[in-house]
Amino acid sequence: MPDFLLELFSEEIPARMQVAGVKDLERLVVGGLSDRGLLFEGAKSFSGPRRLALAIAGLPAKQPDTREERKGPRVGAPEKALEGFLRSAGVTLDQCSKQSDAKGGFYVAVIAREGRATAEVLAEIVPEAMAKLPWPKSMRWTAGTTRWVRPLHGIVATFDGEVVPFEFANVKSGNTTFGHRFLSHGPIQVRRFEDYEKKLRDAHVILDAAERKEIILHEVKQKAFALGLELVEDEGLLDEVAGLAEWPVVLIGRIEDDFMDLPPEILRTSMRTHQKYFALRSPGKESLADRFAVVSNMAARDGGKEIVAGNERVLRARLSDAKFFWDQDRKRSLESRVDDLKNIVFHAKLGTQYERVERIEALAGEIAERIGADVAMAKRAARLCKADLTTGVVGEFPELQGVMGRYYALHDGEAPEVADAVRDHYKPQGPNDAVPSAPVSIAVGLADKLHTLFEFFRIDEKPTGSGDPYALRRAALGTLRLIFENRLRLSLLESGLSDDLLEFFVDRLKVVLRAREIRHDVVDAVFSIRKDGDFVRRVDLIEALQNFLKSDDGSNLLVAYRRAANILKVEEKKDNRSYDGRPDPKRFATPEEGALFEALSNAMPQITDGIMEERFGDTIRVMAKLRPPVDAFFDEVIVNAPEPELRRNRLLLLSRLRATLHLVADFSKIEG
Amino acid sequence: MPKARTFQDLILTLQNFWAGQGCLILQPYDIEMGAGTFHPATTLRALGPRPWRAAYVQPSRRPKDGRYGENPNRLQHYYQFQAILKPAPDDIQEIYLKSLDAIGVDPGLHDIRFVEDDWESPTLGAWGLGWEVWCDGMEISQFTYFQQVGGIDCDPVSAEITYGLERLAMYVQNVEFVYDLAYNEHFRYGEVFHQNEIEQSAYNFELADTDMLKRHFEDAEKECKALIGGNRKMALPAYDQCIKASHVFNLLEARGVISVTERAAYIARVRALAKGCCEAWLASPMGEYKPRYAAHAEDRS
């Protein structure tokens, strides 16, 4: 079956947009095909600096024919009705048949559609898909009002080797493309994916980003190995450089000795963010080697000598700047920089960074006391934690905030715990970042995050569905990870957690717990009973409850709870009153009522104590023991007895069952 | 192609090259400004429907970048070479690459790349998409397709290319310290500018009279508004005042007397001026000129 090949050839697409761009293109084109009844065997997509390509294999030559029968008005219906029907169905009267049912005859329109040629459908789908591509940023150029990521220069579109004719942004589709900007000359004619990929390779273009990544990784590793070095792996950088070269060529450059005593983080950041170089190191060593790997997009005539020399020179200039700042920064203590924070606004409504630090300091002291960390050290670290924002290196490399603070703190002779906390209070920065475990770091980290959350909630700058400019979700997730991974026993309510912030935390908690396969409805059920800022305690109970619900006893008890709750709901509504209160044991007419009452009376204090004393296993066992008397009650007793007194008493007994289980969680919130 | 051996060779080569592309070779604008983009030949001419092609050297002043002549490549006064083509030709990237060849950057020996870098000038209310152009890892040009200037859509879209001349010359001449550049066969760049960098750095950071500068800012702002207020549409003189205000603001910032919140407010004030000037420009003849004597027009054709 025939294949479709599409290539969109443009000026350089930003590296970070290529992969998502071609995935969106694939989704839109594939979606358009299946909407129009065109199935295929497989689709592959490729992206690079100057082209997005799509290869769809095994398409039929045309759409399937369709036949639809549409029921119309009765025979003898008013003329107008019949006309309207014919118009909407797009048929004439002689294309309709007559059928009849019990009430008489009616018209049926037979609408037969012949499938269109696939090429014709593609010519319609592709420009639509191109127009719909959701680029993060797009631009106009000379092609009228059309927007695209960068100016588009060519479209290859062939179906079964023949051009699929259409136009987008004043560019006509065809079968011509171009190779590497400098290593290839003149147009290239293509017919199908196979010769397209091969001809591009001959023209110094590796189409597939995954293959470019492999080449880069292989070459870097091999060249490092030849020097007795190894690569410092960096997946994000690899993705980026693969999007900056069509013909990756790895070259090795040297870092001058003068710069090798700079902190390795400065070296790496300088190389990575500005220059996109890979760092190398001796096997098994932390410190960096005096070499870097640069991925060029050029097989130069001189084997890359000039390119290496140029890159070395740029790095030298960058590192001279960094070294200048590093030397300057250490001429002043961090302590002396705290006052400078008065000149930096944190947020228009929240004052300066200095005021922020004062509040973090106070909070860090409180938290340190509650988690048993050294209070003086925590306060000291908190005081210094933002001071590096005024340093030259952090001005140049904002991502080194904290990291530089630690170096300067150590240089000033601060305690190592304090210096570490200055660095680590930003952690965890993402789901893969480690969580600090040193008590002083935990105290300052929590204080920083909680302060941010308190303050922005106070001024009503909460995250919305689309935006979270102050990274409050990350702060809340970080707080939860600090608490769980260190099993910190402290109630956030004591720190002044507002109701809406507690709710925000519970939402984040569900995200965290989902990874541990804990159900969000169980979280809701437990949190809706009692406001509790001790998340470790709450989650232990949630886990115990979820395990119980998975057991036979648990699922049975849940069924019984629902039955009781439903009966109560119906009867309470009917009687327009609530059945809260104590049943009268003297009015029990069956042994099952008495047995259930006794079981509940025993269970209530045990459950309350179990939860108070955090013996959640015991609490669950107590609940499990309720199952036989509950089952027996429902088997033998009719709640809605004809005698009003008997009925009332039994409803009170059911409400007591509900109240007992609600000591643990609101079971009505549990789904499934 | 022979290399542009000296700083002034570089300028002459670029001028010749862009003249060959049909660009007017204009001269620097005679008011202090932070970048070649501020030249009315770019800011204002990028607006409106009329085609335009110009290239020029613009002395660019960045008071905060002063380093008293000590830094190898940071200057508070440096030269930009700027080309603006409206509408942007389809093959503008190719044309640009030829200009590199003209100054002696051989694409067969170097690694030339277009790396995402979107341009935005908050003071001009302008933005565009494009790249910084890398040669062996060094940024040698900015390449921008203007989308908006003064908050107004650019239609047609212009292509703006900016070369940092000192940096490019350092590359071509293989020089590590900017002041060591050969300006021509007889003079070093430092002979022309080293003393200037020392004295101007002192002025920018220590000596500038900030009260006076604040007054200058107010005056320029007032004058600008007066020239485009009401029915007056004196776009060009008003825009001069806007550029002046912008430069005075840069000086005040270098003197460290503007807090973060004030900074945003100052930028917003300059942007409002720029916007007003751009609107006045669009309401003006936008440079239209019909020859006074027919004979001259015939001579030209």
Q: What is the mean pLDDT of residues B101-117?
A: 94
CB A56, CB A32: distance < 8 Å: no
- Max intra-chain CA distance, chain B: 59
Confidence at A579, pLDDT banded by 50, 70, 90: confident
Q: Is A330 on the interface with B (CB under 8 A)?
A: no
Task: Decide if pLDDT at A121 tops 60.
Answer: yes
What tokens appear for A301 in the block?
Answer: 């005539």
Closest CB to A139 among B110, B115, B129: B129
Q: How far apart are CA A294 and CA B142, in angstroms?
A: 22
CB contact under 8 A, A345 and B259: yes
Task: Decide if pLDDT at A21 tops 80.
Answer: yes
Mutation target for A interface from B52, B116, B161, B259: give the one with most A CBs within 10 A.
B116
Q: What is the mean pLDDT of residues B77-90?
A: 97
CB contact under 8 A, A306 and B109: yes
Task: Decide if pLDDT at B299 tops 70.
Answer: no
Residue B67: its pLDDT value, please? 87
Confidence at A317, pLDDT banded by 50, 70, 90: confident
Q: How far apart are CA A370 and CA A378, in angstroms?
A: 12
Cα angle: A630, vertex A633, A638; to 5 degrees: 140
Q: Which residues pair with A581 in a beta bridge?
A: none
CB contact under 8 A, B145 and A300: no
CB contact under 8 A, B136 and A306: yes
What tokens appear for A150 in the block?
Answer: 């960068």
Q: What is the mean pLDDT of residues A167-182?
A: 96
Closest CB to B113 among A16, A277, A297: A297
Residues of each domain in chain A carrying CATH 1.10.3210: 335-513
pLDDT tens digits, A654-669: 999 999 999 999 999 9
What tokens appear for B272 in the block?
Answer: 């409002």
Q: Which residues pair with A109 in a beta bridge?
A: A70, A96
Q: How far apart are CA A86 and CA B6, in angstroms?
A: 82
In order of start, what are the domains of chain B with their CATH numbers? Answer: 7-203 (3.30.930.10), 209-282 (1.20.58.180)
CB A505, CB A454: distance < 8 Å: no
Task: Decide if pLDDT at A206 tops 80.
Answer: yes
Cα angle: B54, vertex B55, B61; to 5 degrees: 125
Task: Decide if pLDDT at A636 tops 60.
Answer: yes
Task: Decide if pLDDT at A494 tops 90.
Answer: no
Mutation target for A interface from B111, B157, B171, B173: give the one with most A CBs within 10 A.
B111
CATH of A551-669, one of 1.10.530.10, 1.10.730.10, 1.10.760.10, 1.10.10.10: 1.10.730.10
CB B3, CB B172: distance < 8 Å: yes
Task: Decide if pLDDT at B1 tops 50.
Answer: no
The CATH class that applies to domain A335-513 reads: mainly alpha
Closest of A566, A512, A571 to residue A536, by C-alpha: A512
Window from A105-114, A173-182, B145-154 with minimum mean pLDDT: A105-114
Residue B39: its pLDDT value, please? 97
Confidence at A177, pLDDT banded by 50, 70, 90: very high
pLDDT tens digits, B244-266: 999 999 999 998 888 766 888 89
Residue B301: its pLDDT value, please? 45
Residue of B nearest to A141 (CA): B157
CB contact under 8 A, A142 and B73: no
Residue of A nearest to B159 (CA): A141
pLDDT tens digits, A414-439: 999 999 999 999 999 888 889 999 99
Interface residue ranges in chain B relative to chain A, Cβ cutoff 8 Å = 71-73, 87-90, 93, 97, 107-116, 118, 128-129, 131, 135-138, 145, 147, 153, 155-157, 171, 176, 259-261
- Max intra-chain CA distance, chain A: 104
Q: How far apart are CA A503 and CA A508, in angstroms?
A: 9
pTM (predicted TM-score): 0.79
Chain A residue numbers with beta carbons less than 8 Å from the beta carbon of B89 are 142
Q: What is the mean pLDDT of residues B108-134?
A: 94
Closest of A135, A136, A141 to residue A153, by C-alpha: A141
- Residue A4, SS3 per DSSP: strand
Share of residues in chain B with pLDDT > 70 (%): 96
Q: How far apart are CA A318 and CA A275, in angstroms?
A: 9
Residue of A nearest to B258 (CA): A343
DSSP 8-class letter at A391: S
The three-state DSSP-derived secondary structure of A568-605 is HHHHHHHHCCCCCCCCCHHHCCCHHHHHHHHHHHHHHH
- Residue A378, SS3 per DSSP: helix
Q: What is the mean pLDDT of residues A212-217?
A: 98
Chain A residue numbers with beta carbons less than 8 Å from the beta carbon of B108 are 182, 300-301
Q: What is the mean pLDDT of residues A305-318?
A: 92
Instruction: Match 């983080």 to its residue by tokens.
Output: A265
Q: What is the interface pTM, i.e. ipTM, of the complex?
A: 0.92
pLDDT tens digits, A128-150: 999 999 999 999 998 678 999 99
Chain A residue numbers with beta carbons less than 8 Å from the beta carbon of B169 are none
Give the residue, B276 or A431, on which the prediction is more confident.
B276
CB A132, CB A28: distance < 8 Å: yes
Residue A142: its pLDDT value, please? 81
Helix ranges, A62-160 (H): 79-89, 118-132
| DSSP states along A278-315 | EEEE-TT-SSEEEEEEEEES---TTTTHHHHHHHHHHH
Query: Rounded mean pLDDT of chain B?
Result: 93
Closest of A423, A337, A414, A324 to residue A376, by C-alpha: A414
What tokens appear for A439 in the block?
Answer: 């008590």
Residue B3: its pLDDT value, please? 63
The three-state DSSP-derived secondary structure of chain B is CCCCCCHHHHHHHHHHHHHHCCCEECCCCCCCCCCHHHCHHHHCCCCCCCCEEEEEEEEEECHHHCCCCCCCCCCCEEEEEEEEEECCCCCHHHHHHHHHHHCCCCCCCCCEEEEECCEEECCCCEEEEEEEEEECCEEEEEEEEEEEECCEECCCCCEEEEEEHHHHHHHHHCCCCHHHCECCCCCEHHHHHHHHHHHHHHHHHHHCCHHHHHHHHHHHHHHHHHHHCCCCCCHHHHHHHHHHHHHHHHHHHHCCCCCHHHHHHHHHHHHHHHHHHHHHHHCCCCCCCCCCCHHHHHHHC
Q: Is A7 exposed, middle or buried (0-12, 13-18, 19+ CB in 10 A)?
A: buried
Task: Decide if pLDDT at A104 tops 70.
Answer: yes
Query: Rounded mean pLDDT of chain A?
Result: 92
Residue of A nearest to B72 (CA): A317
- Residue A637, SS3 per DSSP: coil
Residues of each domain in chain A carrying CATH 1.10.730.10: 551-669
- Residue A475, SS3 per DSSP: helix
